[in-house]
Amino acid sequence: MLCALLMFCATGAMAEDLPDFLGAVAQGLSEGLQEGAQAASTQELTLTLDKQDARIEEGRTLLLTITAGNPYPTATDVTLTLDLPQRLVCAQPLTWSAQLKPATADANSGELTASVTTFTREITLTAGGESGQAEVSVEMNMGTRFYRTKTTLDLCVPDISAAAAVADTQNQIVQPGSGFVYQIDIRNDGTAPKDVPVTLLLPAGVTPAEPLPAGFALRERTLAGAVRVEAEDECAVRLPMTVDADVLDGDEDACRLLGGVLTVDQERIALPMLKAAGPLVSVGLIPEKTQLQEGETMNLTVAVTNAGLAAADVDIACLLPEGLSLVNTPAKTPDKTQQEKRSADAAAPAPDAGDPPAGSDAQAVMSDDPVMPVITQENGLISLSVHMDAARETDSGTAAATMEIPFMVRADVQVDSMDDRMLGASAAWRTDDSEPRLAPAVALEIRRSGMMGLSDSEWNGILLASLLMLVTICCLYSAVKTDKREEDYCFD
């Protein structure tokens, strides 16, 4: 165009106004070039970084959007690099090359509109670490020109802690057939919610109560589930349990430890140890004396001992033999020495009445204010029921609960017999719905009364001894007389 203009000027050199025209053209070209250079120097590539959310939670994915703008009328080659902190990961490339589309021109005005090219990257916050903030940046370069932008993310991580306790028990002691509750308190001090996994390996002899808590399932002996705990919140998980009725079968000491394994959020949590305990009752008969004269009375004491850690109601039946009857008067109260002796005897149960294990530290402790039961008699059978408290655990061992129930008996007079008699008294007992058990029997000798307070057998013994003495004296006298006669004959 410029060449054509110059040719035109040359052909029209003869025109008078040619110098003025050429000067105007030169000035216009200079101003146009200056404005174009100034406009080109003010236009640059643009780079922005947008985030789907201002926070990212542990294990979650967040979308980043990178936008590049190209104001030039030609396509532009660039290289982009996404810079992530250590705890953020991306499955896509962090450095890549791209070509930005050229700017578009308006059909009427010819004005250029910058093109927009968008890139996306998905980032994930890995487990571990604490809550905080992190900076994410992206860099784009076009030759020797560099463009950079950044943004800040809140890293939200749950912080789980847990503690376990046992509810609905007394001193962490449970009985067969009873129920209790494992209570698990879970707290989240972090800034992100979490579905916390809970796993409980049940102790032998314990069964979850139906129905199971929501979200939990039982597989063999493992109870597992998950609990949702919001950020900066806490919750309590209650797991009702039932102690099996046969949990103490085969345990001679009527006591078994119940220990489970609790895991919360992959961490082992201390679970309180329980004791499954039942009553350990023994019953014995303690006579005040083992020899009685006919018509004489004495106290026959029923000694009951409970060395178990559970209370029990005990039904006792005592069978008196023929020749021994219950006196319908209050029993004599044994003196302090006798009571202490009987307490010590009652502390050691009979072998067939549920002995405590060898080496047991059980000690007999008399009740401070025992309530004496009502004693009934029917056809020679004496019946009574007592409530035995549980044994107490002390620093030195287990203190067994004991009770003594004395009642007065009398040796009946037998007119059809002249001999002394040996009688045996026995007792049977049972606790709650258990099978009856026998207490060791005691032997009593009933001596028949005679003259001077001696029995017939004693008088018979004295008579026999007298006869033997008389025979001995006669024999000695006869022997002496015979020796004297022999001496007289020899002398003559």
For residue range 60-91, list pLDDT tens digits in order.
999 999 999 999 989 999 999 999 998 999 99
Burial class of residue 120 in the structure, from the number of CB atoms within 10 Å of its CB (0-12 exposed, 13-18 middle, 19+ buried)? exposed
Residue 129, pLDDT score = 84
Tell me phi and psi for residue 33, to 5 degrees: -65, -40
8 Å CB contact between 198 and 224: yes
Residue 191, pLDDT score = 92
Greatest alpha-carbon pair distance for the chain in Å reads: 228
**Of 410, 394, 197, the residue nearest 299 (C-alpha):** 410
The structure's pTM equals 0.64
Distance CA 242, CA 206 (A): 6
Dihedral, CA of residue 337, residue 340, residue 342 and residue 344, to nearest 10: -140
Q: What are the pLDDT digits (tens) for 408-456?
A: 888 887 766 556 778 888 899 998 777 899 999 898 888 776 555 565 6
8 Å CB contact between 161 and 189: yes
Residues of the chain with pLDDT under 50: 1-3, 5-6, 8-9, 12-15, 33, 36-38, 40-41, 329-369
Tell me phi and psi for residue 89, to 5 degrees: -125, 155
Distance CA 185, CA 189 (A): 13
Residue 332, pLDDT score = 46
